[in-house]
Amino acid sequence: MEDPIIQIKDLSKSYGSFRAVEGLNLNIHKGEIFGLLGPNGAGKTTTILMMLGLTEPSGGTVHVGGYLSAANPIPVKKIVGYMPDSLGFYDQMTAMENLMYIAGLNGLADAEGRKRALEMLDTVGLAAEKDKKTGVYSRGMKQRLGLAEVLIKKPEVIILDEPTLGIDPSGVKDFLSLIRSLSREHGITVLLSSHHLHHVQQICDRVGIFVKGKLLAEGNIESLSKELFGHEGYVTSVQVRQHIPNPWPLQNELMHWDGLRKMSIRGKEVEFTSSQDLTAELVRFFVKENYDVLSVHQKDYGLDEIYHKYFEGEQG
Amino acid sequence: MKNLNSKPSAASPFSIMMRKEMADHIRSWRFIVLITLIVLTFVASMYVSLSNIKSATDNTRDPDHIFLYLKLLTTTDNSIPPFHVFLSFLAPLLGISLGFDAINAEQNSGTLTRLLAQPVYRDNVLLAKFGSALVLVSVLFLALALSMIGGGLLLTGVRMEPQELLRILGFVALSIFYVAFWLSLAIVLSIIFRAAATSALSGIGLWLFFTVFYQIVVNLVIRSVLPDPAALSPDQILTYNEIIMDFLRIAPNQLYMDATTTMLMPSVRSIGPMTMEQMSGAIPSPLPFTESVMVVWPQISGMIGATVGCFALSYFLFMRREIRS
């Protein structure tokens, strides 16, 4: 396997006695969509700034595309497109002028820059608004213009800091699928930071959970969920029409079942934890005992649970 | 994919930044207002000096009366100050207003992060901010000076001495340096303070302090510290006077006034007090250009030094700072 395009080794950053990032190790491979997930103030933005050489690490190194970010930021910035979380444009200039300026700074000649700017505006769906001043752009439009600006230099890596912040739900969906298709078509590596779990879950190949400056876990969503909840086994919750008393006379019989480890009764709902999948047997049991089963739900751990789990662990 | 970025291009990032910054300045209302202000004062002082030019050039007791064009810049009937005095307090305003939001406005609007995420050197950003404003100011001053010369030539038909041209260009250069100092100071303030209003106010505060209060403060301190002049020998008075002048010359506008006065009035031979012995035997005649430059060289180097100092400070503050909006 070739070298990872982003290599972070023992990275740390402190502000006085506050440690924003501590001992971060992370490799991101070419073409991957990686989600950096964590609450506000976890050190995500600081990490990103260190990748771009916009702030100096207190310890450790970041290599992007083989270049050391802290010492040699110019070649890094040539291949990395970065969209910051609080996105701003020169309000007195039109979208086109803004893009042309960035194209120029990336060493594109005027004609080439113009051609590519038009292309990018078309890609992000802003072609009709290209001559409007960015001062009148809405948040979602700015976000898309930001993406156009990131893409204009044909980057190998794009880093998006909270890209879904402040866009409405349908906008988020479009935006994320745009990112995903761009990444797949052009083989662009994407690093995405967010505190919105669902957004990340939609498009990321791999996520890293980042709390208080530390990377607590890393991997794809299935492996994370297995790692975390594997010891708990399967969780099935059954909801019935009748009220179930607590203690329940049938409880003892059930507890003798093979593999059933735990059950908790909450009014009309019972939750079972078992080492193997007992859903079918449980439903049959309830029907036999004349309960009207309204819903059966087998718990599938998403990022939400993973995230909360880690977050609780950190606080506890 | 890789080679696309390294393609040779028409312009370097620095010249693109310069172009953009200059366009921004020219389109901004702020710059238009300032230009109007300066052009108006220029026209007003030219009008006054033109109406008094005859008496000024007829005055044979003044050794400078042969320099018509320098007289145009300095003559006044005391209704309004001459142009270079006007400029000594308008130039700081020009410098401050062109620089006070150079960095913090970009930082607050979130464009600085984006700008620095492009493959550009950080110092180029500072240099472009400084250079673009300075180019515009230079063009403005040069245009004013040349239009004055041209206008004078048309109106009077008097031939211009080469020396006069040199002196007027010297005056323009001094004014540019003077603006450069305030501009770089304003850029430093724009790096230090996050709010543009704070940096503008502290810039204007410094300007007011140096133009109004500094002399008052120096005089107050001197008066309480200095021994009674009646008890001193003339030599001691002279030494004390020198010391007072040296303190006053910390103020950049004092440096500018000293330098421009010497530059525009060729008969000025010293900017400090002179004893009778030094004066005796001197014929009141204009100095050659190079001699005038020698007289004000400390002032010129002082202004350049202050500018470079401020600029270096802005580098120091900006180069390793964390860029975050």
Lowest mean pLDDT among A218-232, B145-159, B283-297: A218-232
Residue with the larger pLDDT of the pair B9 and B172:
B172
Q: What is the dihedral of CA A41, A42, A45, A48, to 10 degrees?
A: 170
pLDDT above 70: residue B23:
yes
pLDDT tens, residue by residue, A195-224: 877 777 778 888 888 888 888 888 887 777
Question: pLDDT at position A314, please?
Answer: 54
Q: Inter-chain contact A54–B110, Cβ cutoff 8 Å?
A: no
Q: Which sequence spans correspond to the domains of chain B? A: 13-274+286-320
Q: Do B325 and A84 touch (CB under 8 A)?
A: yes
Q: Which residues of B touch A86 (CB under 8 A)?
A: 110, 113, 325
pTM: 0.83
Which stretch of A298-307, B71-80, B221-230, B256-265 has the lowest confidence by average pLDDT? A298-307
Structure confidence at residue B309 as a pLDDT band (50, 70, 90) = very high
Query: pLDDT higher for B310 or A255?
Result: B310
Q: Which residues of B touch A90 (CB under 8 A)?
A: 24, 109, 111
> What percentage of residues in chain A have a pLDDT greater than 90?
27
Cross-chain residue pair A55–B324, CB shorter than 8 Å:
yes
Nearest to B320 among A45, A56, A149 (CB): A56
Nearest CA in chain A to B322: A55
Size of interface A-B (CB pairs under 8 A): 100
Question: Do residue A154 and residue B5 have CB atoms under 8 angstroms apart?
Answer: yes
A125: Cα within 13 Å, side-chain hemisphere: 8
Spell out which residues of chain B touch residue A143, defining contact as CB-CB under 8 Å: none
ipTM above 0.90, yes or no: no
Instruction: State residue B295's pLDDT score.
Output: 86
Q: For residue B105, give Cα distances in angstroms to A270, B189, B197, B200.
A: 59, 12, 10, 12
In this predicted structure, the answer to whether residue B89 has a pLDDT above a threshold of 90 is no
Q: What is the pLDDT averaged over residues B100-127?
A: 91
Residues of B in contact with A134 (CB under 8 A): none
C-alpha–C-alpha distance, residues A102 and A78, integer Å: 12
Interface test with B, best of A105, A139, A153, A156 (most B CBs within 10 A): A105
Nearest residue in chain B measured CA to CA from A154: B1
pLDDT of B205 over the 80 cut: yes
pLDDT classification of B272: cutoffs 50, 70, 90 = low
Best of A15, A30, A49, A54 to disrupt the B interface (most B CBs within 10 Å) is A54
pLDDT exceeds 60 at position B4:
no
- How many other C-beta atoms are found inside a 10 Å radius of the C-beta of residue B176? 19
Query: Region B144-154: what's the mean pLDDT?
Result: 89
Q: Which residues of A touch B3 (CB under 8 A)?
A: none
Chain A contacts of B9, Cβ < 8 Å? 104, 107-109
Candidate from B6, B111, B113 with C-beta closest to A90: B111
Contacts of B27 in chain A (CB under 8 A): 92
Interface test with A, best of B2, B3, B5 (most A CBs within 10 A): B5
pLDDT above 60: residue B3? no
| Whether A82 and B117 lie within 8 Å, measured CB to CB | yes
Question: Quick one: angle between helices B234-248 and B214-225, nearest 10?
Answer: 150
Q: Do A87 and B110 touch (CB under 8 A)?
A: yes
DSSP string, chain A: -PPPSEEEEEEEEEETTEEEEEEEEEEE-TT-EEEEE--TTSSHHHHHHHHTTSS--SEEEEEETTEETTT-HHHHHHHEEEE-SS----TTSBHHHHHHHHHHHTT--HHHHHHHHHHHHHHTT-GGGTTSBGGG--HHHHHHHHHHHHHTT--SEEEEESTTTT--HHHHHHHHHHHHHHHHHHT-EEEEEES-HHHHHHH-SEEEEEETTEEEEEE-HHHHHHHHHGGG-EEEEEEESS---SS-TTHHHHHTSTTEEEEEEETTEEEEEESS--HHHHHHHHHHTT--EEEEEE----HHHHHHHHHHHHH-
At residue A173, the pLDDT reads: 85
Average pLDDT over chain B reads 86
pLDDT digits (tens, 9 = 90+) for A161-179: 988 887 888 888 888 888 8
Which of A130-144, A218-232, B180-194 tops mean pLDDT? Answer: B180-194
Please report, for residues B59, B144, B162, the alpha-carbon distance to residue B71 in angstroms, rounded to integers and kept in the order given: 11, 16, 15
Q: How far is B90 from chain A (nearest CA, A)?
A: 27
pLDDT band at A262 (very low <50, low <70, confident <90, very high): confident
Q: What is the pLDDT of residue A230?
A: 60
The structural domains of chain A, ordered by start, are: 6-219 (3.40.50.300), 232-298 (3.30.70.2470)
Q: Do A74 and B10 touch (CB under 8 A)?
A: no
Predicted pLDDT at B125: 93
User: Per residue in A10-27, pLDDT tens?
Assistant: 999 998 888 889 888 999
